[in-house]
């Protein structure tokens, strides 16, 4: 029977076992990568065998934080852990064969697929949950783990600018800096450095923005042709969904991205104030958080736009 467990119970569960394999979700972001790297490192510091299953979709932006954690091809784990992954549907193909014994997460949309789930919905990032587990398990964390968890927390909060940031988020970040996280270097690298391709793709997005419901909704689109024209890759799209919501008066910023085909669209929803991003995405079978959610749908960008605008009538009835 699947059950939820506390931070202390999770720490005890980890201390009692050995030979771990840690899974990340598809298109791994800083939170899942930072958590996987930090948990692996901390378990190794306790003398345990721990590895991360190689994720085929990881990008150069985040791979440095797990490059020394990849499992060898012949590794046979005894216990499987998932971090920052709300459901089985979010795993890459090479992860689907594993039965997850422990899931560490912060998503309200978690489906409790694991035998044991440590879920803290109030946490802005999974990194905050992992931090509490590591401290409970070992009493302190290393500088390397602190660096990885700082990546996890800052990327999921937009360097503390997103509405999900809490006092606990800032408290944990402060403790990570005290533990040795190189915050100045990471802030510059992750939030104040752009490639030329990123700058070009941003200019395309801004020039194509569409506004609805009196300017309360801004919709941006990213096509494969735009990506090719800007010579952009996945790293260049990191946190791209936050752009529409940065405009004055916008309460819901929605990004429509054409992915594997013209009839396959990834939708990211970012909201503020009293607009529930999770409720919007739930109409389409998606999930996430109150202010940040998303879904993937097998339709074209025009089709998705039309359905979204119809759904948004429930949240913006003034038009």
Alpha-carbon dihedral angle through residues 7, 88, 263, 292, given to the nearest 10 degrees: -10
Q: Sign of dihedral through CA atoms 63, 294, 151, 40?
A: negative
pLDDT tens for each residue of 152-166: 999 999 999 998 999
pLDDT tens-digit profile of 287-300? 888 999 999 999 99
| Tokens 């840690």 sit on residue | 22
Whole-angstrom distance, CA of residue 183 vs CA of residue 151: 9
CA 260 from chain center: how many Å?
20
pLDDT tens-place string over residues 96-142: 899 999 999 999 999 999 999 999 999 999 999 999 999 999 999 99
Q: Bridge partners of 255?
A: 220, 268
SS3 298: coil
pLDDT digits (tens, 9 = 90+) for 228-267: 999 999 999 999 999 999 999 999 999 999 987 667 899 9
Neighbours of 81 (CB within 10 A): 30
What stretch(es) of the chain map to CATH 3.90.1640.10? 3-191
Centre a 10 Å sphere on the Cβ of residue 143 and count the other Cβ atoms it contains: 12
Q: Quick one: fold of 3-191?
A: inorganic pyrophosphatase (n-terminal core) (3.90.1640)
Does 3.10.310.30 match the CATH number of domain 196-314?
A: yes
CATH 3.10.310.30-classified regions of the chain? 196-314
């Amino acid at each position: 029977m699947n059950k939820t467990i506390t931070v202390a119970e999770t720490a005890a569960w980890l201390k009692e076992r050995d030979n771990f394999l840690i899974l990340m979700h598809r298109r791994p972001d800083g939170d899942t990568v930072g958590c996987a790297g930090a948990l692996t490192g901390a378990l190794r510091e306790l003398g345990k065998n721990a590895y991360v299953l190689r994720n085929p979709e990881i990008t150069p932006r985040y791979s440095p934080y797990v490059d020394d954690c990849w499992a060898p091809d012949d590794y046979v784990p005894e216990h499987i852990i998932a971090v920052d992954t709300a459901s089985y549907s979010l795993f890459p193909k090479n992860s689907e064969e594993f039965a997850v014994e422990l899931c560490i997460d912060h998503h309200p949309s978690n489906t409790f697929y694991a035998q044991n789930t440590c879920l803290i919905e109030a946490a802005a990032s999974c990194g905050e949950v992992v931090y509490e587990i590591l401290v409970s398990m070992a009493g302190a964390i290393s500088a390397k783990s602190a660096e990885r968890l700082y990546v996890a927390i800052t990327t999921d909060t937009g360097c503390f600018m997103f509405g999900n940031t809490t006092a606990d988020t800032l408290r944990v970040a402060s403790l990570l800096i005290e533990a040795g996280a190189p915050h100045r270097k990471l802030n510059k690298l992750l939030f104040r450095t752009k490639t030329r391709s990123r700058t070009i793709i941003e200019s395309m997005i801004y020039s194509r923005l569409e506004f609805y419901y009196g300017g309360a909704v801004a919709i941006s689109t990213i096509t494969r042709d735009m990506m090719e024209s800007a010579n952009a890759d996945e790293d260049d799209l990191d946190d791209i969904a936050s752009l529409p919501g940065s405009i004055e008066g916008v309460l819901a910023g929605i990004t429509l991205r054409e992915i594997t085909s013209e009839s396959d669209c990834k939708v990211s929803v970012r909201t503020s104030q009293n607009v529930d991003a999770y409720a919007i995405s739930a109409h389409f079978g998606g999930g996430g958080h109150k202010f940040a959610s998303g879904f993937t749908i097998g339709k074209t960008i025009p089709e998705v736009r039309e359905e979204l605008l119809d759904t948004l009538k429930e949240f913006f009835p003034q038009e």
